[in-house]
Amino acid sequence: MDYLEPILAIPIKQGDYQFYIFKINAKKLLSISYTSERTKSNRTGIQRGLRRDRLIAIGKYLKGQIAGEPILPNTIIVSLSPDSFFKDGYLNIPNRAAGEAFVIDGQHRLWSFNEEFSGETDFEVVVSAFIELPDEKKALIFRTINGEQRKINPSLVYDLIPMLRDKNWVEFENWRSQEIVEILNSDPKSPWANKISMVGEPGKIISQSSFVTAIKKLFKKGHLFSTSESQNFLEAVTQEKLLIVYFNAISDQYSIEWDNKDYLLCKYIGVSALLMLLERIIADLQNKNGEIVNNEGLNIDEGSLSPYVTRLRAYSFSAKEAKDEGKSYVGEGGVNELYKKISSIVFA
């Protein structure tokens, strides 16, 4: 059997568990790793499915596009086959492509080293490896790690952003806005799924760069996703869910106009104006109903937005009608003018 070069490892004994700590290049570990997603049809699986948006985000981090020099100090936990063995201070692991190391924890970190997500980036990672760990023990470890840990308060994470900006480590608004656009384009529940030109594909109604520019405004001081706002829209999932719910409500009302280049609705001008309108709608909902984000997450749905979107329907967003009225709606001045138009209709 073909084996990797023997790897210097430290044996660790904790109760009934025996495992080994070592370092290895991430791409090498990835080449021999596999996992098993637990689904309705696969009840023997243990892991959550790989999320492409997370792989993309971590891949950007690994390439240095989100922060400074990347670092992954947390251990990746695997279970090796019974063909692996420890001898004289070294771990001997079969070079079995995609079939030797079952990843119990750290799958997104590891699979982000796939060339599709992080290019040629590669460096050593820390691994904790069990040998021939039974499936029930794999499940127990996974549950313990992922079920018992407390989630970091997102307010704390956002509170650190000014410090990061001062060090020029991130342009938070840029990468977070881009991440949101990625999710809007990839989430099958989103009305924007596969409708955004992410890498210059022809035939799409709006480009990634235009959508990112529109989303970034929500992170500016005093706006909806700003750290200075009293309402907690700091949780990433809350931000994404809000936008998907909002645009679903609009696309339901504008089924013909949606993704139609004869209308301003899905173009940069329309999207920017609609996001400005969303901020006013949220403020109005807060005044009427109090908190719309609670410990359970987003506390509004399409039904909550329906009265506003129903009134908005009085405006067609027709590019031809706007032209006939002598309205060009160009640039940021056009965005502001269109926002005033639709806002006056919704809040008449």
| Complete domains list, the chain, with CATH | 7-148 (3.90.1530), 155-346 (no CATH)
Would you state the pLDDT for residue 158? 42
Please give the share of the chain, as a percent, with pLDDT higher than 90: 56
Q: Which of 111, 110, 149 is nearest to 127 (CA)?
A: 110
Distance CA 212, CA 268 (A): 10
Would you state the pLDDT for residue 65? 80
Would you state the pLDDT for residue 312? 97
- Mean residue pLDDT of the chain comes to 85
pLDDT tens readout for residues 115-153 = 999 999 999 999 999 999 988 888 778 777 665 555 444
Give Rg (Cα) of the chain.
Answer: 25
